[in-house]
Amino acid sequence: MDHVAVVFDNWETVLKAEPELHHIRFGGEGLYILDESEAALSPTRQLALLARIHELAGRRSQFIIATHSPIVMAYPASIIYLLTDKAITQVRYEKTDHYAVTKEFLINHDVMLKVILGG
């Protein structure tokens, strides 16, 4: 393994940087541990993050990602673990609360806002 990086909440800087910087900070055959890397990213930037993850995974990199983002969780062939105070369990993407709440909000945002805001 050539590269090991631990990255915390700085993807906005990485994604705006010159392409050469991406290759210096994140190379093939690496292990990357990301903690809520989507926190400062718009949905469009989260998609760019997925594209970069895919590129690096194709170069034999591996990722461990702590996330609340249904966009980041949607990466194909990802294994999603739900961590609670009682157990660590594998869960399907569509069964995560983040997916369910986001989907419901996008489909029925008017109804959800009325319930939440008391209207």
* pLDDT number for residue 6: 40
* pLDDT number for residue 37: 84
* pLDDT number for residue 40: 86
* pLDDT number for residue 101: 94
Could you list the pLDDT tens digit for every one of the 119 residues in the chain? 444 444 444 545 555 554 444 444 677 788 988 898 888 889 999 999 899 899 999 999 999 999 999 999 999 989 999 988 999 999 999 999 999 999 999 999 999 999 999 97
Q: Does residue 107 form part of some domain?
A: no
Number of domains the chain is built from: 1
Q: Does residue 115 form part of some domain?
A: no
pTM summary value:
0.75
HSE toward the beta carbon, residue 83, CA cutoff 13 A: 5
Q: Does residue 97 form part of some domain?
A: no
* pLDDT number for residue 29: 85
* pLDDT number for residue 25: 67
Q: Does residue 110 form part of some domain?
A: no
Q: Does residue 95 form part of some domain?
A: no
What's the domain range around 34?
A: 3-78
Q: Does residue 113 form part of some domain?
A: no
Q: Does residue 51 form part of some domain?
A: yes
